[in-house]
A and B are shown apart, each in its own frame.
Chain A
Amino acid sequence: MTAVTAPRRRLTEGRAVPVATMVLAILVIWYACTIWLNARWQLQVFDRAGQADWTIWQFVAGTFAQDRPVLPAPHQVLVELWNSVAMQDVTSRRSLVYHAWITLSATLLGFVMGTVLGIALAVLIVHNRAVDRSLMPWLIASQTIPILAIAPMIVVVLASIGLTGLVPKSLISTYLSFFPVVVGMVKGFRSPDALQLDLMRTYHSSRGQVFGKLRWPSAMPYLFTSMKVGVAASLVGAIVGELPTGAAGGLGSRLLAGSYYGQTTQIWAALFMAAALSATLIFVIGLVERIVLKRMGVRP
């Protein structure tokens, strides 16, 4: 037993040191930036208070404790996160969990629609030359349009026909997440080599059988890779979709409110929440990937 687990423990130890070093380095740089970026305001504070004989420690402590800092210190963000996550009722509008859930539901709905749409388009593209030629340029063009420009239009247009809330945001998520899935799955469906295709041909198998027994399983690794990209894009889409709606809630509205009132700490807390959300989503997809690929006999 110990002989089996020992190498694994050493592996995690081997990883923990560089990760810790990285985190430490980032914290040091962050605190340095905090001092630097908040310095001007701190000087003004001392000025206004008529305090001329401040020490360097008072100055540094001041830059770490401002109400509306240019850059909040890491511990300020942590305190804000703690206050808005743990100290609030999750149904309260002041709870970050409440807002994260609103964003997450739009993200998931948009992601599922985007993945299904992406797979469907990839199936069409792989099986039909005309579709491949005519559709692909449009798909690529669709992704060159800046999402910030069309997101408000989508929201406004859909609101005018009575669609508000979850659906418009999800549609923006769909719009961003289907593309990596199309590209990945077209590649995946085309990944079987000539030999594997010839084999199916010798059995006189139908197109459907070639798809089900060869193309689909071959595309599995591609599916998970593109889903990871897609879910991150989906989250961005949902947040962007929340910006124009303003007060309706969600991490996006939280960002917007924060920037309205100069609540930088609140903005950073929302950003961290979004990053944690996206990391969790990618982690979950990675977990499913590992389970599925293991069942497909991929060499460990």
Chain B
Amino acid sequence: MNVAMPGHTTVKSDPVPANFGKPVIEARDLDLTFQTGDGPVHALSKINLTVRQGEFVSFIGPSGCGKTTLLRVIADLEQPTGGAISVNGLSPEAARKARAYGYVFQAPALYPWRTIGKNIALPLEVMGFSAAERQTRIRDNLALVDLAGFENKFPWQLSGGMQQRASIARALSFDPDMLLMDEPFGALDEIVRDHLNEQLLKLWAKTQKTVVFVTHSIPEAVFLSTKIVVMSPRPGRIHEVIDCDLGTDRPLEIRETPEFLAIAARVRDGLRAGHSYD
């Protein structure tokens, strides 16, 4: 995982780093047009993307550029109107039915009538885990997101940050190979966000899960990712894919290093260039 990346850090289409596994998400000329009351909205246009096993890929781009839509297509929550996409070599629908991913929404979306523990058990109940197995997984995953002892609290008794952590624990509880996260820390303050970023990074390094992560924050994207997908709006498309080669051991201080700042500057340039298209 720590092996240095090949020299080419910017590739328009698909970088093929040798150190990650087989492709798990492959999109070819993906297109999605929403038919709305005031005419069609071209949300995704000619998306070509490969995500490999164990990668941490971030989508970054201005509001409305289709980040959520792309994530939802991967998750089979939205149907593309053109092109092809496979997840784990299957159609997104088959992958969803095989429970290939855990999805973290922008809002915690905890069920208010369930305690935190019961919320984490929700996917486990649906998937038919035994009661004993559910209990151990609730405990383990609560500990993982620093919420031990909150099992019997109801969501409204927790802060926004704690609720979001609970929703991450819920997505992790059934141990999917892939995590799809849509701006999970968008609503949180800087300090909590830093803390959760560190925890997420540790988790990713430990479990080798593939993570696809949507964010608005350049530092967050650079800090977390192995690959940053810069998107631009109208129509939503991939402007640039930037490799982010900072290794798996990333203390928060890495954000002061020249390497980090150089990548952040390139992401910023990419975002600016993408914006000037319209």
- Residues of A that sit less than 8 Å from B by CB: 195-196, 198-205, 209, 213-214, 217, 220, 296-299
Contacts and interface: CB of A to CB of B under 8 A. Distances in A.
A297 B77 contact: no
Contacts of B105: 195, 198-199
A214 B111 contact: yes
A57 B112 CA distance: 64
B126 A200 contact: yes
Contacts of A198: 77, 103, 105
Given A195-B109, A204-B96, A299 B75 contact: no
Interface string B93-131: 000110101110101010111110000001101110000
Contact of A209 (B76, B107, B126): B126
B204 interface: no
B156 interface: yes
Contact of A204 (B99, B114, B125): B99
If over half of B's interface residues share one DSSP class (helix, strand or loop), that class is named, otherwise mixed; here it is loop
Contacts of B123: 203
Given A204-B97, A213-B126, 7 more contacts: A195-B107, A198-B105, A199-B103, A201-B96, A202-B102, A220-B113, A297-B113
Nearest to B101: A202
B34 to A, nearest CB: 14
Contacts of A213: 111, 122, 125-126
Interface string B152-188: 0011100000000000000000100000000000000
Contact of B77 (A202, A214, A298): A202
Contacts of B77: 198, 201-202
B174 to A, nearest CB: 8
B216 to A, nearest CB: 19
A93 B102 CA distance: 68
Interface of B: 75-77, 96-97, 99, 101-103, 105, 107, 109, 111-115, 122-123, 125-127, 154-156, 174
Given A209-B126, A213-B126, A297-B154, A202 B113 contact: no
A296 B96 contact: no
Nearest to A195: B109
B71 to A, nearest CB: 11
A217 B114 CA distance: 10
Contacts of B75: 202
If over half of A's interface residues share one DSSP class (helix, strand or loop), that class is named, otherwise mixed; here it is helix
A-B CB proximity, top 7 nearest: A297-B154, A296-B113, A203-B126, A205-B126, A202-B103, A195-B109, A217-B113
A199 B115 contact: no
A225 to B, nearest CB: 16
B103 A196 contact: no
A203 B101 CA distance: 9
A196 B111 contact: yes
Given A204-B99, A299-B156, A199 B109 contact: yes
Contacts of A203: 99, 122-123, 126-127, 174
A198 B75 CA distance: 10
Nearest to B112: A297
Given A202-B96, A213-B125, A196 B109 contact: yes
A59 B48 CA distance: 97
Nearest to B78: A198
Contacts of A199: 103, 105, 109, 122
29 contacts: A195-B105, A196-B109, A199-B103, A201-B96, A202-B77, A202-B96, A202-B101, A202-B102, A202-B103, A203-B99, A203-B122, A203-B123, A203-B127, A203-B174, A204-B97, A205-B126, A209-B125, A213-B111, A213-B122, A213-B125, A213-B126, A217-B111, A296-B113, A297-B115, A297-B154, A297-B155, A297-B156, A298-B112, A299-B156
Q: Which of B99, B113, B123 has the most C-beta atoms of chain A within 10 angstroms of its own C-beta?
A: B113
Contacts of A220: 113
Contacts of A195: 105, 107, 109
A179 B225 CA distance: 56
B166 to A, nearest CB: 13
A217 B112 CA distance: 10
A246 B59 CA distance: 76
A44 B45 CA distance: 93
Contacts of A202: 75, 77, 96, 101-103
A267 B99 CA distance: 66
A201 B96 CA distance: 8
